[in-house]
Chains A and B, each alone.
Chain A
Amino acid sequence: MSGRTLYDKLWDSHLVSQRDDGSALIYIDRHLLHEVTSPQAFEGLSLAGRKPWRLDANLATVDHNVPTTNQAAGVAAISDPVSRLQISTLDDNCDELGITQFKMADLRAGIVHVIGPEQGATLPGMTVVCGDSHTATHGAFGALAHGIGTSEVEHVLATQCLVTKKMKNMLVTVTGPLGLGVTAKDVILSIIGQIGTAGGTGHAIEFAGEGIQSLSMEGRMTVCNMAIEAGAPVGLIAVDQTTIDYVEGRPFAPKNEDWLRAVEVWADLASDSNAVFDTEITIDGGLIEPQVTWGTNPEMVTGIKGAVPNPAGIVDPIQRGSIERALNYMGLKGGQSIESIQLDRVFIGSCTNSRIEDLRAAAKVVEGKRVSDSLIQAIVVPGSGLVKAQAEKEGLDQIFRAAGFEWRDPGCSMCLAMNADKLGRGEHCASTSNRNFEGRQGAGGRSHLVSPAMAAAAAIAGHFVDVREWI
């Protein structure tokens, strides 16, 4: 008999009932909420006269829509009335029902996928859902985590369960060691470049191998965060000592006897050696270069020493058409070198890359240098109030400010440009975020996804450069 994958184990331990029609009811341990995908769910719950099943499984914060300047002035000071109403609606819903929420300007507030792990509210072996596709992030802890829609947010509030169907298992092994200056972001972009934006559709991807195990928890979160950009709602990494060390002592983490028991239970959160995966892929981590996206979805990516593809050389007409359309939107020429792409803005932040390690990596590149005069703006947006405070304690804010970066309050910011932080039409941005879709960072904006160190180096140079030559 074959063994079980990590995903199989998490599924089995959360199965409430398997229905005859192929669907299943699984139990949700942690439900994270934010202002954008929850108001309609709270309204639906109220209209149906229902109450939350279990209050303490929920944790809410505001992130997508908050301003990243002067949050201390409070919600009433938000100038956009539509944003203000959405943020105050979450505050009201949480207050009324008694749901724990970190409100704007609370030191513990920030991007939902940063604060969950930071608080120990995300634990190994849990199921975690949130009305946000980047919930895959939490899989870095050996937790079964994925994004859900607003109807499902309402369903989880009402029942503490989700109606779902088991996914297939995929294993992506990244051999190691990674090259100097190559980060978790480069690993995941490289994986997406190889398997494509739909390569993981219908699958839970487990990331394994030395190239993954050698990463810190911050790096592992970056990898799992972007599983969804390869089409997989779930990314997973087995629990090891790195995981345990990160979780220990965090506010929501188990204590004393519970901690000892938990660590014992968590030891089993890895795929059995004889587990069978539906799909297996191995990537040579040593060959991965710092990555830069050139197109309008994350699979349109290449190494820093590479060039934008020439559509004339593509045989498949649909693929050729999509590359032509992407280059037209991006204002790039086929064959153009990646290093020749000139930038207008640089954004360091988002649930992919706004944790303390990301800011340290960027600050290290920036220290003692100046942002290129050719840039309109370079901003750093920490992932949470606590990340911001830690960075300030280490003097990173001073390094960024001295170089000409703006140092902001926490939030999703320019990753999806729901607030005032956005690209202008035609502007190129080196961004540490996760999506380079048309208009994602502002109507007509041109996004290039990179690691924090690559974004920092690009800010100094005014165009993309190989950060490996700077270290």
Chain B
Amino acid sequence: MQQFISEKGLVVPIDRSNIDTDQIIPKQYLKSIKRTGFGVNLFDDWRYLDPGEPGMDHSARRINPDFVLNDSKFNGATLLMARDNFGCGSSREHAPWALVEYGFRAVIAESYADIFYNNSFKNGLLPVVLAAKELEYLFDKSLGDLPLELMVDLPSQTVKGPDGFETRFEIDSFRKTCLLDGLDEIGLSLAEADGIRAYENTQRQRTPWLF
């Protein structure tokens, strides 16, 4: 698993609620059998004016100048900010793959859909939850001529910004440890192989039709 400790970077503000995974990475790109190649199609329907298909030269497509991600002042941004229920919809892990490949290391939002939230950790993408009030303040700050820069720090669970902005966010301790250490979850679970076998032996007696 990709490690995450801290990230200082520019923030791309997408001022929307309920950004679903169909928007993050549209379905036609899910035909790929690879884990890579999705960054160029992140937010494809919003980012380009003409329709996209896998295999085409995306650099030749017409860019939507009104979509915030295309604003050159956010070049090199590593943090994405949105409103509530980010990542709702399909379970596609292609969504965090696309975000990470584009260059995002963390998302800041009021809330996340459960499956997306879970998938993010498997890919070293930190989903930070902040209160609506704090997001309101940060969205306000991000509308200026200069992009907002924030520091997201996992060990201290804080987000720091200009003018003394500092806030703490919550995260489960097991998810925090996995991200900080970049742990191999499958390896960790296989270390409990004896326990899994013992469970199977018990259940084989109790519910033999499941085996």
Binding site for B on A (CB under 8 A): 16-17, 19, 21-23, 25, 27, 29, 36-37, 39-40, 43, 48, 50, 53-54, 56, 64-65, 80, 82-83, 85-86, 89, 123, 125-126, 131-133, 146-152, 154-155, 158-161, 163, 165, 197-198, 201-202, 228, 231, 233, 253-254, 258-259, 261-262, 265, 297, 318, 322, 325, 416-418, 435, 437-440, 443
Contact = CB atoms under 8 A, between A and B. Distances in A.
A82 B27 contact: no
Contacts of B88: 197-198, 231, 297
For B111, B172, B195, B207, which residue has the most chain A Cβ atoms within 10 angstroms?
Answer: B207
Nearest to B175: A23
A437 B23 contact: yes
Contacts of B177: 21
Contacts of A22: 172-174
A262 B210 CA distance: 10
A47 B18 CA distance: 36
Given A40-B93, A86-B33, A132-B91, 9 more contacts: A25-B189, A39-B34, A82-B54, A149-B115, A159-B189, A198-B18, A297-B20, A322-B16, A418-B31
The 3 closest A-B pairs by CB, nearest first: A254-B209, A21-B174, A39-B33
B92 A201 contact: no
15 contacts: A37-B93, A50-B186, A53-B196, A64-B30, A132-B90, A133-B91, A147-B115, A152-B122, A155-B186, A163-B174, A198-B88, A262-B209, A297-B18, A322-B16, A439-B26
B32 interface: yes
A151 B54 CA distance: 23
Given A37-B93, A159-B196, A149 B113 contact: no
Interface string B4-16: 0000000000001
B190 interface: yes
B51 interface: yes
B196 A322 contact: no
B196 A160 contact: yes
Contacts of B123: 151
Given A82-B31, A126-B210, A318-B17, A198 B113 contact: yes
Interface of B: 16-18, 20, 22-23, 26-28, 30-35, 45, 51, 54-55, 83-85, 88-93, 96, 111, 113-115, 118-119, 122-123, 172-174, 177, 185-186, 188-190, 192-193, 195-196, 199-200, 203, 206-211
A231 B186 contact: no
A241 B28 CA distance: 42
B115 A148 contact: yes
Contact of A29 (B18, B51, B189, B210): B210
Contacts of B119: 149-151
A148 B91 contact: yes
Contacts of A148: 91, 115, 118
A254 B208 CA distance: 9
B81 to A, nearest CB: 14
Contacts of A65: 31
B114 A231 contact: yes
Contact of B186 (A86, A154, A318): A154
Contacts of A318: 17, 83
B207 A265 contact: yes
Nearest to A440: B22
B142 to A, nearest CB: 16
Contact of B91 (A29, A147, A202, A231): A147
A443 B51 contact: yes
Given A21-B174, A27-B196, A151-B93, A438 B23 contact: yes
Contact of B192 (A25, A40, A325, A437): A25
Contacts of A27: 196, 199-200, 203
Of A83, A146, A259, A439, most buried by chain B (CB within 10 Å of CB) is A439
B22 to A, nearest CB: 5
Nearest to B84: A198
Contact of A231 (B54, B85, B190): B85
B26 A155 contact: no
B92 to A, nearest CB: 7
A275 B183 CA distance: 37
Contacts of A439: 22-23, 26, 45
Contacts of A155: 185-186, 189
A262 B208 CA distance: 9
Contacts of B188: 163
Contact of A151 (B122, B172, B210): B122
Contacts of B196: 16, 25, 27, 53, 159-161
B15 to A, nearest CB: 8
A165 B31 CA distance: 31
Nearest to B132: A318
A295 to B, nearest CB: 10
Contacts of B193: 159
B202 to A, nearest CB: 10
A205 B143 CA distance: 39
Contacts of A231: 85, 88, 113-114
B111 A198 contact: yes
A423 to B, nearest CB: 12
A35 B147 CA distance: 41
A201 B34 CA distance: 30
Contacts of B22: 416, 435, 437-440
A233 B119 CA distance: 13
Nearest to A198: B85
Contacts of A160: 196, 200
